A and B are shown apart, each in its own frame.
Chain A
Amino acid sequence: MGTLFEPFTDVVPSFFGWLNQGPLTLTIFLHTVIILPMFWIYFQEKKKLNK
């Protein structure tokens, strides 16, 4: 058990607990990995439309 700024803030260490190291670090990471591939989809669709 630690505070918000230490790794493994929780009772049991885990990957997600490790990502949860500061203000919103975990959730921003998850949002990013969800949204980033949409750029790829966007440019692929753009290519298709321009053909």
Chain B
Amino acid sequence: MLTSIKTNEFAGSESKKLAMMYFRVAIVLFGAQLLMGLIAAIQFLAPGFLFEVFDFSVARMVHINALVVWMLYAMIGSVYYMLPDETGIETVNIGVGKLAFWVLTAAVTVVVLVYIFIQVGSGTEATIWLINEGREYLEAPRWADIGIVVVVLTFYWNVFATYMKGQKTGIMTVMVANLMALAGLYLAGMFFTDNISMDQYWWWWVIHLWVEATWEVFVGTLAAYALIKIIDAKREIVEMWLWIEVLMLFGSGILGLGHHYFWIGTPEYWWEIGALFSALEPVPLVAMFVHVLYDWGKEQGIAKAEGKPGSVMKNGPAMAWIVTNAFGNFLGAGIWGFFHTLPQVNIYTHGTQFTAAHGHLAFFGAYATILIGMMYMGIQGAYGIERLKATFRSKMAIFLITFGVVGMTVALTIAGYEQVLVERADLGGGWEAFFTAQNLPWYIQAQVWRTIMGVVTFVGFIYLVWDLLTIGKQAKAAQSA
């Protein structure tokens, strides 16, 4: 992927080159996320590890921030990648796009360095502005918030202007409308209040309406684009599915926000709203799963009927990741989300490792998978490969990463289950109940398995990077031979 920047075959498409720049940073941040996760996992088992040097709170903060930022990078990269294909023209202002990339990357670097070396500040507004906002996922200090808004605005303007100038496909219409909501929602997380209930009310507007609404629709548009590119799916069918997905994702996801308003001081009527709307959130995820596999089977069947030999897939590794996405999204976001979405269950699971289990499988299944798929699409384009076939390394990467994440999820689910029953149902919560549950062998064993599976994931990540760096060159050599 690194070499592809120099010797790419994007015949004049600067937008796709810019996409590759975003993908490169994304994969580096993905690595950082995994390393921080490993540190935090070890601290659960050996609390003395880096104590008062690099505490759990710091490792965890960088872990989840690197996660969000690498995904945003890969998402922006994916948009720049598909833009010329969908609109039929080059992105209108690539110079500004590149400038925004460097500004954003510089800002992210400074923020991460401050997180790592300064960590915390005094209880003043200056800390919120310069060091750390201290709100899970939205820790980025206010100056960086404003910088992110400016960068995202230039990105959005670029996409919007290109859309207006070029051809307007259904995929791009959804993309442009959805991106506006995605960017606008960030503003809901940019203020300070003394009222913790008010704080969390708006905090969830950003977090939930991102990951359970706009990001999901984003994934729908990426999958639609990728299916057309990889297996020649019919645009008409793909776009119809996309509108159905938008209908169901927003229909359930927007008011599904209510499932975060059960216990933060908000009125009881949210119990019902959150319960039923969010209980329907898995439905579109089933639809997306069916859609991907059905289209794949259909296109393969047509090819067979026409007597064409071999697979219809033009990009094996990308398709593998997209199928993993279809399944992982349903399993991680859908099933694991539904596990604890009803208030009757959530009163006990809220604030336990159950949430962490869901978080791991959902972020991976719904987002990491398809974004990695888009990176393989990028490599295929960069090297001008007709058919990109999976290598041994591609297979090791997808197997180990998926196995590792599922393993972590199962381990954390067991830890969460134990917490729910011992700490919460039996002992009723509180300091002593918390540590009683943390000390039980069942909990500790689960944490050991989580750490082992974290290492498995990391080994998979090494295979992934290795593959991304080499697969293009290899395929190119094989193609010209």
Smallest beta-carbon distance B249→chain A, Å: 14
Contact partner, A30, options B255, B267, B268, Cβ 8 Å: B255
Instruction: List the one stretch of B34-42, B107-115, B116-124, B269-277 in contact with chain A.
Output: B269-277
Q: Besides the contacts A14-B269, A16-B267, A31-B276, what 5 more A-B pairs have beta carbons closer than 8 Å?
A: A10-B268, A11-B267, A17-B267, A19-B269, A27-B272
Which chain B positions have C-beta within 8 A of A24? 272, 276
Smallest beta-carbon distance A13→chain B, Å: 10
Measured CB to CB, the nearest residue on chain A to B272 is A27
A29–B277 CA distance with the chains assembled, in angstroms: 12
A12 is an interface residue with CB less than 8 A from chain B? yes
Q: Is the interface of A mostly helix, strand, loop or mixed?
A: helix
Measured CB to CB, the nearest residue on chain B to A14 is B267
Q: Is the CB of A27 within 8 A of B267?
A: no
B251 is an interface residue with CB less than 8 A from chain A? yes
A34 is an interface residue with CB less than 8 A from chain B? yes
Q: Is the CB of A27 within 8 A of B268?
A: no
Q: Is the CB of B276 within 8 A of A27?
A: yes
Which 4 A-B pairs have CB atoms at the shortest separation, nearest pair first? A27-B272, A20-B269, A27-B276, A16-B269
Contact with B along A16-36 (1 / 0, CB 8 A): 110110001111101100100
- 13 pairs of residues in contact across A and B, judged by CB atoms under 8 Å: A9-B268, A10-B268, A11-B267, A19-B269, A20-B269, A24-B276, A26-B272, A28-B276, A30-B255, A30-B277, A31-B276, A31-B277, A34-B251
Which chain B positions have C-beta within 8 A of A11? 267
Smallest beta-carbon distance B381→chain A, Å: 38
Which chain A positions have C-beta within 8 A of B273? 26-27, 30
Which chain B positions have C-beta within 8 A of A9? 268
